[in-house]
């Protein structure tokens, strides 16, 4: 009976991904520098296998695994597919930047380990499993940010580590408090027991757990590391850390809020975090001149939008499918924007992109699609995601939150236009930006155009996605 209740086969995607990381790490130690590309192929195969295994179980009824501490359902399946394919795109970006570097195989292994932690977070149905997923997703991230051994990367790695340690402790404190007042960490039992527990202790515990998840997501109040890491890390790492870990963290936050009793105003708390993230991220992004730092602050704002359906978890039938749709759309669109920056790794100022739209029209168009997609412009998939999340907020009784989303969307348009304007502007880039001919990196350019096209295709076919996510 115990082996049946454990049902390890349901965790096959996570197992494949983690074992793929181990194979990459070990085999990289025995391969010569000129053949490290083999580890990239192994990593890609593990990611494709993970996505295919997840697709076979989607859609399907919710199934508990590992004694009920992990749930395989539509949210888990979508998170598995989006995270695996998102990491696969990051590997494509790494083909230009990391190939042939001294720590090539280690970088790929850390990508896979962190992605595994993301999947564990997404399916966690127990507070202790949330802690495991948090640690597995976070610890490789510290190494990834600093692996390039640049001064700015070292500073970003230290800041991320210190904030991660602080909010990791906060997460553990929250789990301890909730366990102390309920004598359980399982979501199946927590709802009823927390309803009868002291409200102050429950509030403190939930706020602490949410704080830990906000670090992983990159939302307020644990957002400080995101723009520094996006600017200081390598391009492929920056693309990864602003995209993939968010998937598991936001789904984990949704599961947590959905199981909480109505004894306190949890929706209002999450709504305040959403408003703070989207507003602060948009205002801070407006003054940035480094495109990757701009995208880092954009990530903070996007987390605010992603928290909108979390605020109405369990109160609107639109909440979960709109969240999953937005996650898929944000992942592909954000990766498209970062792919343009890795295609031109030496252009670290918005003015240095002046004239790119004429010199490289397809890449210019890809950047415009990505940036306007992040705003939420039709026909991109983020537009549909933003539309459905605001509909969920309205349906869940938070009409004011939908209005705040609309206002912040208008504000965000201005700083994205600050990047688009030079792309099609006339004249030469300023000498201080050290411009050269617009000669893009091959793999990154292909990834940028492909992901931008996928963003539009998914937007046009969003109806089919919505039907799949609503099962």
Q: How far apart are the first and last CA of the chain?
A: 29
Helices (H), 183-290: 187-195, 199-217, 225-232, 235-241, 244-259, 266-285
Q: What is the sign, positive or negative, of the torsion defined by CA atoms of 72, 251, 166, 228? A: positive
Classify residue 34 by its DSSP letter. G
From CA 246, how far away is CA 236, in angstroms rounded? 16
Q: In sequence order, which residues have a C-beta less than 8 Å from that of residue 374 and are 6 or more positions away?
A: 298, 302, 330, 333, 334, 337, 382, 412, 416
CA 307 to chain centre: 12
Bridge partners, 65 (sequence order): 70
**What does the pLDDT profile of the chain (471 residues) look like in tens digits?**
344 478 888 999 999 999 999 999 999 888 887 788 899 999 999 999 999 999 988 767 889 999 989 999 999 999 999 999 999 999 999 988 888 788 899 999 999 999 999 999 999 999 999 999 999 999 999 999 999 888 999 999 999 999 999 999 999 999 999 999 999 999 999 999 999 999 999 999 999 999 999 999 999 999 999 999 999 999 999 999 999 999 999 999 999 999 999 888 999 999 999 999 999 999 999 989 999 999 999 999 999 999 999 999 989 999 999 999 999 999 999 999 999 999 999 899 999 999 999 999 999 999 999 999 999 999 999 999 999 999 999 999 999 999 999 999 999 999 999 999 999 877 666 655 556 788 899 999 999 999 999 999 999 999 999 998 887
Q: Are 91 and 41 in contact (CB under 8 A)?
A: no
pLDDT at 34: 79
At residue 379, what are phi and psi to the nearest 5 degrees?
A: -100, 25
Per-residue b/e over 391-417, b at no fewer than 16 CB within 10 Å?
bbbbbbebeebbebbeebbebbbebbe
Element (H, E) at 119: helix 104-123
CB within 8 A of 3, min separation 6: which ones?
A: none
Quick check: 270 and 307 in contact, CB under 8 A? yes
Q: Can you tell me the distance from the alpha carbon of 58 to that of 35, in angstroms, rounded to the nearest whole number?
A: 36
Q: What is the DSSP string of 347-404?
A: --SGGGGTTHHHHSHHHHHHHHHHHHHHHT-TTSHHHHHHHHHHHHHHHTT-HHHHHH
Please give the Cα distance from 313 to 260 (Å, whole number): 10
* Tokens coding 71: 């749930």
Here the tokens at position 312 are: 């109405």
Predicted pLDDT at 431: 58
pLDDT at position 62: 86
> What is the rounded CA–CA span in Å between residue 304 and residue 285?
14
Q: Return the percent helix, strand and coil in the chain, to nearest 5.
A: 75, 0, 20
The 8 Å CB, 24+ separation contacts for 156-160 are: 156/225, 156/228, 156/229, 156/231, 156/232, 156/233, 157/229, 157/232, 159/224, 159/225, 159/228, 159/229, 160/225, 160/228, 160/229
What is the reported pTM? 0.95
């Amino acid at each position: 009976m115990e082996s049946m209740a454990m049902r390890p086969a349901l965790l096959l995607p996570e197992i494949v991904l983690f074992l793929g990381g181990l194979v990459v790490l070990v085999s990289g130690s025995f391969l010569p520098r000129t053949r490290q590309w083999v580890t990239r192929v192994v990593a890609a195969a593990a990611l494709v296998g993970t996505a295919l295994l997840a697709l076979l179980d989607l859609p399907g009824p919710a199934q508990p695994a590992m004694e009920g501490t992990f749930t395989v359902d539509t949210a888990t399946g979508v998170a598995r597919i989006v995270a695996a394919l998102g990491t696969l795109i990051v590997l494509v970006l790494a083909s230009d930047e990391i190939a042939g570097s001294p720590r090539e195989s280690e970088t790929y292994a850390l990508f896979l380990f962190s992605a595994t932690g993301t999947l564990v977070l997404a399916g966690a149905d127990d507070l202790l499993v949330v802690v495991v997923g948090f640690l597995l997703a976070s610890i490789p991230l510290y190494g990834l940010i600093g692996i390039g051994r640049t001064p700015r990367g070292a500073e970003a790695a230290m800041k991320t580590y210190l904030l991660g340690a602080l909010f990791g402790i906060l997460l553990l404190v929250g789990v301890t408090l909730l366990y102390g007042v309920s004598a359980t960490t399982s979501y199946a039992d927590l709802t009823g027991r927390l309803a009868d527990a002291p409200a102050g202790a429950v509030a403190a515990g939930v706020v602490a757990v949410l704080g830990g998840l906000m670090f992983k997501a990159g939302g307020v109040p644990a957002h400080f590391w995101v723009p520094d890491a996006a600017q200081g890390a390598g391009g492929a790492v920056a693309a990864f850390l602003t995209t993939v870990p968010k998937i598991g963290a936001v789904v984990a936050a949704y599961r947590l809020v959905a199981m909480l009793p109505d004894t306190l105003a949890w929706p209002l708390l999450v709504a305040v975090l959403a408003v703070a993230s989207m507003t602060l991220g948009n205002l801070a992004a407006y003054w940035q001149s480094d495109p990757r730092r701009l995208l880092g602050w954009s990530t903070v704002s996007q987390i605010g939008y992603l928290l909108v359906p979390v605020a109405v978890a369990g109160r609107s039938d639109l909440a979960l499918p709109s969240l999953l749709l937005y996650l898929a759309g944000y992942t592909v669109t954000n990766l498209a924007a970062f792919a343009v920056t890795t295609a031109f790794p030496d252009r670290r100022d918005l003015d240095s992109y002046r004239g790119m739209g004429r010199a490289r029209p397809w890449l210019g168009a890809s950047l415009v699609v990505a940036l306007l997609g992040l705003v939420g412009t039709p026909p991109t998939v983020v537009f549909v995601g933003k539309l459905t999340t605001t509909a969920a907020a309205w349906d869940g009784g938070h009409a004011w939150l939908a209005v705040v989303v609309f206002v912040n969307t208008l504000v965000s348009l201005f700083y994205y236009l600050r990047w688009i304007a030079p792309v099609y502007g006339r004249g030469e880039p300023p000498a201080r930006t050290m411009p050269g001919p617009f000669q893009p990196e091959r793999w990154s350019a292909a990834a940028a155009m492909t992901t931008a096209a996928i963003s539009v295709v998914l937007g046009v076919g969003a109806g089919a996605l919505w039907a799949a996510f609503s099962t």
